[in-house]
């Protein structure tokens, strides 16, 4: 059997190697993704986003464990996007340390990946990784974003259900609104509810929900505000119930297809932009591009004039 067939048979080492090929965008990875794509479209993709320190990794760990304990539980995959080193391009991939207690369950697969400088809290290859896991039969895929707290709304274009995680004691009760991520929440979770100040955070978020209606197509869905503690397991069952309830809501109100269409359109446009940019850079040439950069540095051209000059 080749690598794809072994991965479809559930061989974990084959799955890991296949995901590496896809993440690195090798020719084999591209071919494998094309072979697997007809099998996609069955997974419920759940995004976990929020500011650093809110406990997203610990929450994902608890959610996966609790989902797997349910009757007729789906296989669960966790895709944890870690920040890259600006020097080496690598990442600590520390989420694996927090999720060690999932290692004994063959129905759970954890994949950490470096953001590689991608903005929006999600790596460029995350969508492809999610598609492979979907094709391999993982019915629930949790995507945990980097946690930069400023530009993580990209996960809304990838996930069916977005969980925005906040926590008390971050120094600012309006952290979520400053980060610009409250509006994309399908479910709001205040994690670390065992810490002091949780009631203040809940009150602040309740007020924000009333003041700032969601900008995503909700069609009547009101995001529940839940409290949880990944340390002692408080609120985990309620979050899982909300996830499944939201999935059913999307399907019964024809929003599941709407979000799928938006995700596909976004991915196509991003790929077109990448190809066109590479084609343009090849046409312009590195020498000419560097010459224009020098002229901008010498204040002979503004960046806007430089773009116009290069495009002309």
Banded model confidence at residue 267, pLDDT cuts 50, 70, 90 = confident
Instruction: Please check whether residues 107 and 181 belong to one and the same domain.
Output: yes
Half-sphere exposure of 7 (CA within 13 A, CB side): 25
pLDDT digits (tens, 9 = 90+) for 220-231: 788 899 999 988
232 and 290 share one domain: no
Calculate what percentage of the chain has a pLDDT beyond 70: 80
Other beta carbons within 10 Å of 201? 25
Give domain status of residue 135, yes or no: yes
203 lies in the same domain as 235: yes
* Domain identity same for 132 and 190: yes
User: How high does pLDDT run on average in the chain?
Assistant: 84
**Residues 192 and 112 occupy one common structural domain:** yes
Q: Are residues 212 and 296 in the same domain?
A: no
Q: What is the pTM of this model?
A: 0.85
The structural domain count of the chain equals 3
168 and 239 in a single domain? The answer is yes
Task: Give the HSE-up count for residue 177: Cα atoms under 13 Å, Cβ half-sphere.
Answer: 14
* Residue range of the domain that includes 29: 1-36
Q: Identify whether residues 32 and 46 lie together within a single domain.
A: no
Dihedral (C-alpha) 14, 15, 21, 23: value to the nearest 10 degrees? -160
Asked, for residue 16, whether it belongs to a domain, the answer is: yes
Highest mean pLDDT among 34-48, 50-64, 167-181: 34-48
Q: Is residue 4 domain-resident?
A: yes
Domain of residue 61, CATH code: 3.40.50.300
Shared domain for 68 and 110, answered yes or no, is yes
Residues 9 and 46 in one domain: no
| pLDDT value, residue 137 | 96
Q: Do the domain assignments include residue 262?
A: no
Region 167-176: mean pLDDT is: 65
């Amino acid at each position: 059997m080749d690598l794809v067939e072994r991965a479809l048979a559930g061989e974990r080492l084959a799955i890991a190697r296949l995901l590496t090929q896809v993440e690195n965008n090798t020719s084999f990875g591209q071919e494998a993704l094309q072979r697997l794509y007809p099998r996609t479209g069955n997974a419920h993709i759940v995004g976990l986003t929020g500011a650093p320190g809110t406990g997203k990794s610990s929450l994902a760990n608890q959610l996966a464990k609790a989902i797997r304990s349910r009757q007729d539980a789906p296989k669960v995959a966790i895709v944890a996007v870690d920040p890259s080193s600006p020097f080496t391009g690598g990442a600590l991939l520390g989420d694996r340390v927090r999720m060690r207690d999932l290692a004994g369950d063959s129905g759970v697969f954890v994949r950490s990946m470096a953001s590689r400088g991608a903005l929006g809290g999600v790596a460029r290859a995350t969508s492809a990784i999610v598609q492979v896991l979907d094709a391999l039969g993982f019915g629930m895929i949790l995507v945990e974003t980097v946690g930069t707290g400023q530009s993580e709304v990209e996960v809304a274009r990838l996930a069916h259900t977005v969980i925005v995680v906040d926590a008390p004691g971050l120094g600012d009760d309006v952290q979520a609104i400053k980060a610009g991520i409250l509006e994309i929440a399908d479910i709001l979770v205040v994690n670390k509810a065992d810490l002091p100040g949780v009631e203040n955070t809940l009150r602040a978020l309740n007020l924000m929900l009333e003041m700032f209606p969601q900008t995503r197509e909700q069609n009547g869905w009101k995001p529940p505000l839940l409290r949880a503690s990944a340390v002692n397991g408080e609120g985990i069952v309620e979050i899982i119930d909300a996830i499944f309830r939201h999935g059913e809501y999307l399907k019964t109100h024809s929003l599941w297809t709407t979000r799928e269409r938006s995700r596909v359109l976004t991915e196509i446009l991003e790929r077109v932009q990448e190809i066109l940019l590479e084609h343009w850079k090849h046409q312009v040439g590195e020498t000419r591009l560097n010459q224009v950069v020098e002229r901008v540095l010498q204040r002979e051209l503004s960046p806007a004039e430089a773009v116009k000059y290069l495009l002309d």
